[in-house]
Amino acid sequence: MRKLNIAIIGLGNIGSYLFKYLNDNKKILTEKNNCQPVIRYVSAKNKKRKRNFKISKNQWLDNYLSATTNKNVDLIVELIGGAEGPAKKLVFNALKNKKHVVTANKALIAKYGDQLSKIAEKNNVNLEFEASVCGGVPIIRSLKESLIANKISRIYGIFNGTSNYILTCMEKQNKSFDEVLSNAKSLGYAEANPSSDLNGDDVSSKLKILSSLCFNSFLNNKIYVEGIKEIDKTDIDNANKLGYKIKLLGFAEVLNNKIYQRVHPTLIKKDSYVAGIDGVLNAVIVDGKPVGKSIIQGEGAGPAATTSALVSDISSILRGNIKFPFSLSSKERKNLVFDDIKDRFFSAYLRFEVIDKPGVLSNITNIFSKNKVSIKRLIQNPYKNNKISSIVIITHKSKDKFLNKTLQQVASRNYIYRTPKLIRIDNI
């Protein structure tokens, strides 16, 4: 029986779960893949940390980088995290030394994926990263294999469970952003420092990877990113009254032979499929020909879901499948035209809190008119003290740059009580 010697580098929640899973399911994995996975070595930052499984003395590596040159290692699983430092050194060295690599590191792949792919190709080894995007949602392999016959025009969806959980709880539990965030941390749905989840960076990294696979392009950093930190309960309630829900979505789409990548809170109709994806779930939707619309949803994070993706990649290597990391060779991938969204057309929700005095509303509507932004719906709600009023405007489709110019000009007026809001609307 063939064997594949594995080194797991990083023994946090995911690394520990993977270690136990591979040991507990060695027999079935061997039978299914006709090759036995053997955990030859492990390494982590803290050797003395108490763990609920046994590691033999012969398995532990004091120097994690030694795995990259060890003749008894065929495959390295990188679970350190981060785009720089130890993770970067490990993966670059591993591929250069002709070791297969499996990783859950979206930041590393989003930043250095093109370089790493070339090294893997040169040395005829695998670089697999199914676990880097949406955990238990098998979208990477679907794009590389199941959907390979399709010309994809758009990929979009909910790619971050933390932000989705927060928005869901704000809507259903009538709680503030800060209250929900605190609860998410206590439940383990949010990190102690959740900034990358909340500011959109996490989704941005995932979207770059998906976009590259969809359009056979190199990774591209031209992407609009906006998080959910400014969304408050008032916006959630207003959206609900207007027949919408607010979701943090990522989009990569082809329009007029240009690719647009964007991440931002979005108002979507309550009866849309994506609107029903609540809590920590992720969902990815692919529009392509001939398949039409393809939808995959599932747990986006956590040790179990991530391990499912990691084992899928490990199993592919156990079977001897040597594939290009991004489906095509680096010579076949393209430098396509990516554009920013300033000239893309959107409908939008805008909210202004203003000092309630004569002439304010007419001044606002005049600014909209001068910037070629047409108003579809306007709702004015005075607050109880009658000194402050909320004005909500839904626009017809207009160029993004005109919408933002309008927002900025209104925001500069002396009747503005609080920073205005703009949330794009998408008919998905």
> What pLDDT does residue 201 have?
95
> What pLDDT does residue 106 have?
95
Question: 178-204, pLDDT tens digit by residue?
Answer: 889 888 888 778 877 889 999 999 999
Question: 319-371, pLDDT tens digit by residue?
Answer: 988 889 999 999 999 999 999 999 999 999 999 999 988 899 999 999 999 99
Segment 392-419 shows an average pLDDT of 96
The answer to whether 372 is a known catalytic residue is no
Most confident of 1-5, 47-51, 106-110: 106-110
> What pLDDT does residue 47 have?
78
Q: What percent of the chain has pLDDT over 90?
A: 80
* pLDDT classification of 416: cutoffs 50, 70, 90: very high
> What pLDDT does residue 115 have?
97
Go through 43-52 and write b for each residue having 16 or more CB atoms within 10 A of its CB, e for each that does not: bbeeeeeeee
**Among 206, 245, 247, 421, which one carries the catalytic annotation?**
206
CATH code: domain 3-132 is 3.40.50.720
Segment 228-232 shows an average pLDDT of 93
Whether the per-residue pLDDT at 226 is higher than 80: the answer is yes
Q: Are 91 and 103 in contact (CB under 8 A)?
A: yes
Segment 258-271 shows an average pLDDT of 97
Query: What ranges do the domains of the chain cover?
Result: 3-132, 139-299+332-339, 345-425
Q: What percent of the chain has pLDDT over 70?
A: 100
The domain defined by 345-425 carries CATH number 3.20.20.70: no
Whether the per-residue pLDDT at 386 is higher than 80: the answer is no
* 139-299+332-339 and 345-425 have identical folds: no
Cα dihedral 9, 12, 15, 18 in deg (nearest 10) = 160
Q: Give the integer Cα–Cα distance in Å for 254 and 328.
A: 19
* pLDDT classification of 230: cutoffs 50, 70, 90: very high
Q: Are 390 and 352 in contact (CB under 8 A)?
A: yes
Handedness of CA 153, 198, 162, 171 (dihedral sign): negative
> What pLDDT does residue 45 have?
86
Q: Which fold has domain 139-299+332-339?
A: Dihydrodipicolinate Reductase; domain 2 (3.30.360)
* pLDDT classification of 229: cutoffs 50, 70, 90: very high
Least confident span in 17-26, 178-187, 302-311, 316-325: 178-187
Q: Give the integer Cα–Cα distance in Å for 354 and 362.
A: 13
Question: 93-105, pLDDT tens digit by residue?
Answer: 999 999 999 999 9
Whether the per-residue pLDDT at 379 is higher than 80: the answer is yes
Segment 239-246 shows an average pLDDT of 95
Task: Report H helices in 319-381.
Answer: 360-370
Whether the per-residue pLDDT at 384 is higher than 80: the answer is no
